Amino acid sequence: MAPYDGDLIKLLADVSSASAPRAQHADPPSSASPYRGLRHIQSRLGGGRPLLADHARLRDVLELSAVADPRLFFVMFLHHCMTIGPALDFGAPHEDVADLASGQWIGAALMNETGHGNSSSAIRTQAVFDPVTREFVLHTPTPEAAKRPANVGLDGFARLAVVSARLRADGADRGTALFLVPLRDQNGPCEGVTIEPLAPTPLLPMDYAEVRFDGVRVPYRRWLRDGASIAGDGSFHDPLDGPEARTRRSLGMGRFAWGAVTAGLAATARASVALALTHARHRRTNDRLAGEVAAIAHLNQQRLLFVSAADALAATAVARRVTAVGWHIPPGGGTGAGPSAAGMRTLALSKVAVSVLAEGAVSRCRTACGALGFFPGHRLIGYQALTMTFLSAGGDNRLILLDAARTMVTGTDYRPPAEEDPAPGDWPRLFRARERLLHAELTSALRADEQNGAVPFDSWNARTELAGRLAEAHAARTTAEALRDARHAPEVPATARPLLRDLYELHCLEQTAPHTGWYLAHGLLGPREVLALPERVNELCRRLLPRTEALTELLDVPAELRTSRP
């Protein structure tokens, strides 16, 4: 991994320090802190140019933001990726993009509605085209169509949101479209916009609110029309093939989130391990057999932390692969384009894989740190709040897995791995075998149901557990391949390669362990191999122990950001 820019590290360290409590019993930071932090960062980075124009720079900013303050990351990713991203991709006015890039407006994304949970495919907020004024009238038809949760409840900051709504034009439903809508200015909510704060939450506390629209007029230029148009006579034109295609394209804005979320969660996983390893090296324990020894001398601590390190680096390898795809915007905007079905599946499953790996790593690090892991000054509780949030936010993991499995069994830009002869120590080959066999089991069962006249929903519903396992197997295989490739990358120093080799094997062992019974039943592992797995993990931990300091440096977490807060 390329080192972070020193000035950027100092900038994020200063923002983090400014948002921290100043005394032991001080009140928690206000909801305004991350918004002030965003504006301060924007003023220092300067230029008024969207950070999305420089993927590496934006990724560094988001990673360091997540390490410095998860709430700041939350605001930054919504602003830069979920607002500016779709604005650029779908053709927003240049002046609106410039005002967002400068921080004059702070962005927000209003997709989910109260009555449909995490599903954005059944949007009921309406945007009706008025041919006389050539405006769109935005309306919330029922309480269940209110947008929530949205972190837009705080006064004093001008907010411009990307809002999804069901577009009606020329007398017909045109699918879900996106609009740029001012929600509030310095004086409060804009006309026709109702913002009701929600009860505070201890996990990732923000200014969450519910938003409703009552006849809000949106000018034609703020329709993110993506190549669509409405002529002077009211006739509607869309380059896409109908309302369903338009809805899929609008929902595709989630790719900007997946590029950001994977980067941020992988960074918090690495930061958690760096903090916990440092703590374990210096924390003294009184052992009944050995007397006073460092906590890291205990094998149970080693397993917690070294496995977490392996998973954090695996998450990072996946995140670094998907940024370019998730954030790519063709010159002039997408005009109906976007990643392929396979590309979207890869991005979505990357979000699942990284969030699961990161949440597990942070949780183990908190366990290893004992009571300190529960206090915000040690940062780990904040990191876990972020990782837990994104198990559901940015697309619910369970739904993503099922959607991915559905495309895999229908053959949408997917072919199962080819059959291969077993090869000892070739972990991706083992994982490919699992994916291939689970795919065959699921497709065979669905085909038999179809031949027997089963109702399609009942057939699929009865096999969602198997479908989830297939998608998880695919994600595990591609994650192992990403980590394998990362450790062989040309820029990796020769001195780091043995360390990465052991961490790669440790990650693969941990991915294999929960499924040893399945591998045994299918003849892919023998009884002796299964029984030997725990000791192989222990041996890797013993080999990694003398290199703990080098491992901490490999995680690439700036020292200025891995100190405990006051």
pLDDT tens sequence across 525-555? 999 999 999 999 999 999 999 999 999 999 9
**Surface-to-core class of residue 39, CB atoms within 10 Å of its CB (0-12 exposed, 13-18 middle, 19+ buried):** middle
119: pLDDT confidence band, cut at 50, 70 and 90? low
Q: What percent of the chain has pLDDT over 90?
A: 83
In this prediction, residue 339 carries a pLDDT of 84
In this prediction, residue 376 carries a pLDDT of 77
> What value does the mean pLDDT take over residues 19-39?
69
CA angle 396, 401, 407 (to 5 degrees): 125
Q: Is 225 helix (H, G, I), strand (E, B) or coil?
A: coil
Tens-place pLDDT, residues 235-262: 999 999 999 999 999 999 999 999 999 9
DSSP summary character for residue 113? B
In this prediction, residue 188 carries a pLDDT of 93
Task: Confirm if 487 and 1 have CB atoms less than 8 A apart.
Answer: no
In this prediction, residue 375 carries a pLDDT of 82
In this prediction, residue 25 carries a pLDDT of 44
pLDDT at 115 over 90: no
292: pLDDT confidence band, cut at 50, 70 and 90? confident
Segment of 6-20, 74-88, 117-131 carrying the highest mean pLDDT: 74-88
- Please give the domain boundaries of the chain with CATH numbers for all domains: 105-242 (2.40.110.10), 253-566 (1.20.140.10)
Point out which residues pair with 182 in neighbouring strands. Answer: 160
Tens-place pLDDT, residues 418-441: 998 877 789 999 999 999 999 999
CA distance 415 to 433: 13
**Surface-to-core class of residue 231, CB atoms within 10 Å of its CB (0-12 exposed, 13-18 middle, 19+ buried):** exposed
> What value does the mean pLDDT take over residues 561-565?
69
pLDDT at 46 over 80: no
Higher-pLDDT residue of 565, 65 = 65
The mean predicted confidence, pLDDT, of the chain is: 92
SS (H, E, C) 306-342: HHHHHHHHHHHHHHHHHHHHHHCCCCCCCCCCCCCHH
Helix (H) / strand (E) element for 194: namely strand 193-197
pLDDT at 481 over 50: yes
Task: Confirm if 255 and 341 have CB atoms less than 8 A apart.
Answer: no
